Structure 1
Amino acid sequence: MVDAAHQALKKYFGYDQFRKGQDQIISRLLDGRDTVGIMPTGGGKSLCYQIPALLFSGVTLVISPLISLMKDQVDALGNAGIHATYINSSLSFAEGKSRLAAAASGNYKLVYIAPERLSVPDFVRALERMNVSLVAIDEAHCISQWGHDFRPSYRSIPAMITRFKQKPTVVALTATATPHVTADIRQMLEIAPDGVVATGFARDNLNFQVIRGQNADTFLLDYLKKNQDQPGIVYAATRKEVDRLYARLAQKGLAVGRYHAGLSEQERASSQERFLYDDLTVLVATNAFGMGINKSNVRYVIHYNMPRNIEAYYQEAGRAGRDGEKSDCILLFAPQDIRLQKFFIDQSEMDDVLKKAEYHKLDQMIGYCHTETCLQDYILRYFGEQSPQPCGHCGNCFDTREKSDVTVDAQKVLSCVKRLRERYGKMMVTKVLAGASDQKLLSFRLNRLPTYGIMKDRTQKQISEFIDFLTAEQYLVQQGGAFPVLALSERSLPVLKGEVKVLKKGSVRAERLAVDDALFDVLKQVRKELAQTEFVPPYIIFSDQSLREMSVRLPATDHDFLMIKGVGQQKLEKYGRAFMEAIAEYQAEQKESVKF
């Protein structure tokens, strides 16, 4: 069976060998042993059930949380020559019934369903009549109330499994599970402790970076302009922020879309489809977008606001670079993000025990935003994994910025906050320091303070951004509700006494991602035209990684083309001629240009 698995891998998916952990999980499943697989996003979790599905006699039932993911997976499998379908609320009753009947007759190797369908008795009874060899549970952390995206409907899965006359093999897969969540998944599905296969959480192709105390809008716009030919996602915490960023970026001429739960279903679907088809390069979204998003060539994920916990952050950031190519994961930290996330926790319907756990997770997320150690190492330790050494390529490991002494300016700001008796917000502190002749300021006689106008050589914008820096570095804290005031932290007292210096690094500059060569751009265009003809997203034809390998190895024969990673027999027959002709034409043009 192991040899058959390797043959299926090459024939249908075009890979010569399994990635780390895939062969171990697949081997266990082929032996009929239930398994929990914990692999990073982009680690190839789908293949862990798709390969066994091809080798088992019965149907593989895949429980997946998102309709969009199901369609993408089914499209990709069909493109590789594998019979698969999905049954969800996007179908009419008659179509769903027809697909169920076809699955029961053995017409499909894989059937994708949403967990909510398991609450429909007639649907579950129909499943019982199917010959199910394998149940694959995707995004399995949703089964645990301690997971960051708990879905009660997932709790119906264990009962459904027991209703089959012959128990199918079970595999539960996730990218983000702490030891606590992993134990919960195991217990719910009655999988032994030795049934866990964890390949490690490290994503060496991702460059993590946290940017504090800088103007987020300025950095974001600069980064997107420098990388406007690369697809990426910008996450914001609220619908209002998504709308604001979308309008601003669209005004600057970027190919941008938006996605949040306040939009119509039609607009959400249009944004997602245009992003998947590479018609949009930037998608600004809340966390309503993306769980299970299958687009492999997302080159960057920027969090405009800090997420609530490391699990949510790592899952969202992990949507970058699923094809293994170098990609950026940037978090733009602002102190007000902390208050917003605390508000979300307070307003939730969680009980006190869960709220306490969420506050603890939030503290760890805040710690990530302030740590000066390796960012990837910080994430790995959160998931219970020790890394042998720093990653060497995250924002902290690779930070070569020089530090300047800004102690005097810091003392001016801190002294002003103290003189104002910690009763005013950032705007008033800024105006006092700048010496503004604001009517409210004058009416409160704040112009009589010794700190009035002591930074009048700076603009109010510069002073405001410097206050943001001091707050991000925890010299100042924001207190209060809707209209927070600035207060001194314990860290500020030694600064005021002159015992400790405040050092500030230069601003982080937005960098351009790797520049693609001309042939790669030609092949991308060929891919897009084929995708439009077949009505599938371009990455389903071939990944960016496959195209880059083609542009380097220049395959000219069927044998050469089959050697490209991601090229199987089916794809050779469907697309080989188009790409090899494009490569030959490009080479001929290059030779002609050399003559002249």
Structure 2
Amino acid sequence: MTPETILKEKFGYDSFRDGQKQVINDILNDQNVLAIMPTGGGKSLCYQIPAMLFDGLTLVISPLIALMKDQVDALNENGIPATFINSSLDNMEMNRRFKLAADGQVKLLYIAPERLDSSYFLAQLQELDIALVAVDEAHCISQWGHDFRPSYLRLTDTLGQLPTHPVTVALTATATPKVAQDIKHRLHIEADHEVKTDFARDNLSFQVIKDQNSDQFLLDYLKANKAAAGIIYASTRKEVERLTKLLKKRKVSVTMYHGGMAENDRRQNQEDFLYDRKQVMVATNAFGMGIDKSNVRFVIHAQVPGSLEAYYQEAGRAGRDGLPSDVILLFKLHDVQIQHFFIDQSEMDDINKRREYQKLQDMTQYANTQQCLQQYILNYFGEDGPVCGKCSNCLDERDSQDITVEAQKVLSCVKRMHENFGKVLIAQVLAGSKNQRIKQFHFDELSTYGLLKNKAQKQLTELIDFLAASGYLQASNGQFPVLSIAPAGVRVLQGKEQVFRKMAVPVKTNILEDSELFTKLRMLRRSLAEAQGVPPFVIFSDKTLRSMCELMPKTLSEMAEVKGVGSQKLEKYGRQFIDVLQSDSDVLEKATEK
């Protein structure tokens, strides 16, 4: 049996994606290999297909329980025997699954890296005929990575103790050249056995929204995309809860996820999202790694993440099926200060803190660049690429307003407050607030007091954010940042430079409209998934359902030509989906006859 045969029979695809065949060939030639592919680029097939060709077991080291269950469910649906061992199982069930692996009844065994800390568990592994080890989310092994995990550091020692000397494949979606070098060094991968595909995600439309009411933009966006599933990320539990409450009040089908919730509540909410019972998930970054839901149509960051690596990985959870999807960053300077605070309060040493501050600065520059957003990300990861033609920078046709006079009033106020206060108090002075602190410092006696009282305090705060993000003001580090005038701001005060501000961004969507037939197929998929206790995307992806709508297969042999329909799923579900397609076709024919 060849890799191509397995690809077609088990997974329903006619050809490999870029890079997949090269990784598979390296593995089959007993070469350790590093695969760097964007989220949705098909990394899992790179080890799942060799697993079917090797006589022994493939051990998959994966960081989260949710990923293991989803991938094992998907493999079993395709007729590939796989299982997992993690903390959700009792000892009796773990031993039963170990015996299945030892007896050769499963081809893939998924485990978390923390399992390898147990000498008893390691001793059990040494009894298995392990031919291949797949290290997923391999950037976790590098201290230069954005999600470093100490348990990954011990992988090298652990793998060295396996008597079968298995081939190792490391896989990640986000690795700067420095991180890639670290992974190869630690896992003994030769320099010429790195397979890196294009980081660009052609189906994603990147947008940065700033200098406007982010809550209103969010509500308008969700109203315009009522049927779409998506994730909204926030940095704090408090903000997750606030946004969830706001969306529920507006009748959005929403649930939430953060580390402060009870485990059962987290699990239930995650399942509601995965099973399409809820359309929108509001979450901290505790949610998402390994979530294999293919029909996420948008990822919105309501607060700024700490690094571009984290941002791109989380963004990559949109459009895993290759269909058009939106990735939106709602940028506010206040959120940058939250990330600063997280770094300040961490237990990292000064060197690592400086490294994290630099990553945050790179993230801030991304939000303020005029360059193509996709291109900026590619450059960050050491790649070149053309402009994407569909990000918010490439398509920015908004009119600019001359706000030089307003900017001069703000900058003058900062100067008269001796550049020693934060934006909230500055906004209050400009608004003419009677706040006790203003009276305490005699700021009500300044010439700039009440100078912009025709604007709401929130509008003034957003204006100050804009001036800071545009380089006219600069904020100090620390929990309570103080604003001072940057060189560009001095030129504005001197009348040597004008300030222009773009109008608010109207809601635009890159998401495909759902046809009535597609909706019917989704309903059938959901009922089948509920009956079997698996997420709907495990049955078929949205992309496969849309292909069915286009091709309108009438027979099982025609259905077999639809991408994503393998032999196992064809036999199991083919006739039911054909019946829905045919009933719709019959209605159309009768309408045409009339």
SS of equivalent residue, structure 2 residue 5: helix
Deviation at 1:434, TM superposition (A): 3.2
Deviation at 1:357, TM superposition (A): 1.9
RMSD over aligned CA atoms reads 1.7
Deviation at 1:452, TM superposition (A): 3.0
Separation in 2, partners of 1:484, 1:26: 51
Separation in 1, partners of 2:459, 2:23: 55
Residue in 2 aligned with 1:260? 258
Superposed, 1:194-233 pairs within 5 Å as 194-233=192-231
Separation in 1, partners of 2:91, 2:136: 24
Residue in 2 aligned with 1:393? 390
SS of equivalent residue, structure 1 residue 284: strand
Do the aligned residues in 2 keep the contact of 1:58 with 1:109 (CA within 8 Å)?
yes
Q: 1:522 aligns with which of 513, 520, 523?
A: 520
- Letter in structure 2 aligned against 1:147: G
Residue in 2 aligned with 1:494? 491
Deviation at 1:499, TM superposition (A): 1.0
- Letter in structure 2 aligned against 1:488: I
Q: 1:534 aligns with which of 525, 532, 535?
A: 532
Separation in 1, partners of 2:459, 2:159: 61
Kindly indicate whether residue 20 of structure 2 is the aligned counterpart of residue 22 of structure 1: yes
Residue in 1 aligned with 2:90? 92
Do the aligned residues in 1 keep the contact of 2:144 with 2:179 (CA within 8 Å)?
yes
SS of equivalent residue, structure 2 residue 154: helix
Deviation at 1:428, TM superposition (A): 3.5
Residue in 1 aligned with 2:42? 44
Q: 1:457 aligns with which of 432, 454, 459?
A: 454
Separation in 2, partners of 1:177, 1:139: 10
Separation in 1, partners of 2:589, 2:423: 63
Residue in 2 aligned with 1:378? 376
Unaligned runs of 5+ in 2: none
Do the aligned residues in 2 keep the contact of 1:231 with 1:298 (CA within 8 Å)?
yes
Deviation at 1:453, TM superposition (A): 3.2
SS of equivalent residue, structure 1 residue 299: strand
Q: 2:417 aligns with which of 411, 420, 424?
A: 420
Deviation at 1:538, TM superposition (A): 0.5
Deviation at 1:481, TM superposition (A): 5.2
Separation in 2, partners of 1:544, 1:378: 29
Kindly indicate whether residue 48 of structure 2 is the aligned counterpart of residue 34 of structure 1: no
Do the aligned residues in 2 keep the contact of 1:376 with 1:391 (CA within 8 Å)?
yes
Separation in 1, partners of 2:517, 2:356: 49
- Letter in structure 2 aligned against 1:449: L
Deviation at 1:103, TM superposition (A): 0.3
Separation in 1, partners of 2:104, 2:328: 46
Greater mean alpha carbon deviation, residues 551-560 or residues 45-54: 551-560
Separation in 2, partners of 1:246, 1:487: 35
Residue in 1 aligned with 2:309? 311
Do the aligned residues in 1 keep the contact of 2:206 with 2:373 (CA within 8 Å)?
yes
**TM-score in terms of structure 2 length:** 0.96
- Letter in structure 2 aligned against 1:402: D
1:341-384 per-residue CA deviation (whole Å, 9 max, x = no partner) reads 12212222222322222222222112111111011111111111
Superposed, 1:51-66 pairs within 5 Å as 51-66=49-64
Q: 2:474 aligns with which of 474, 477, 481?
A: 477
- Letter in structure 2 aligned against 1:490: P
Superposed, 1:329-344 pairs within 5 Å as 329-344=327-342
Separation in 1, partners of 2:30, 2:173: 23
Do the aligned residues in 1 keep the contact of 2:337 with 2:481 (CA within 8 Å)?
no
- Letter in structure 2 aligned against 1:297: N
Do the aligned residues in 2 keep the contact of 1:214 with 1:468 (CA within 8 Å)?
no
Residue in 1 aligned with 2:503? 506
Deviation at 1:442, TM superposition (A): 5.1
- Letter in structure 2 aligned against 1:20: D
1:286-322 per-residue CA deviation (whole Å, 9 max, x = no partner) reads 1111111111111111111111111111111111111
Question: In structure 2, do the counterparts of structure 1 residues 352 and 468 end up closer, same or farther at CA, with 3 Å as the change threshold?
Answer: closer
- Letter in structure 2 aligned against 1:337: D
- Letter in structure 1 aligned against 2:132: L
- Letter in structure 1 aligned against 2:548: M
1:546-585 per-residue CA deviation (whole Å, 9 max, x = no partner) reads 0111111111111211111101111111111111110111
Kindly indicate whether residue 558 of structure 2 is the aligned counterpart of residue 577 of structure 1: no
SS of equivalent residue, structure 1 residue 45: coil
Question: In structure 2, do the counterparts of structure 1 residues 564 and 442 end up closer, same or farther at CA, with 3 Å as the change threshold?
Answer: same
Do the aligned residues in 2 keep the contact of 1:213 with 1:472 (CA within 8 Å)?
no
SS of equivalent residue, structure 2 residue 208: strand
Deviation at 1:491, TM superposition (A): 1.8
SS of equivalent residue, structure 1 residue 171: strand
Do the aligned residues in 2 keep the contact of 1:214 with 1:469 (CA within 8 Å)?
no
Do the aligned residues in 1 keep the contact of 2:256 with 2:283 (CA within 8 Å)?
yes
Separation in 1, partners of 2:360, 2:424: 27
- Identity percentage over the alignment? 53
Residue in 2 aligned with 1:403? 400
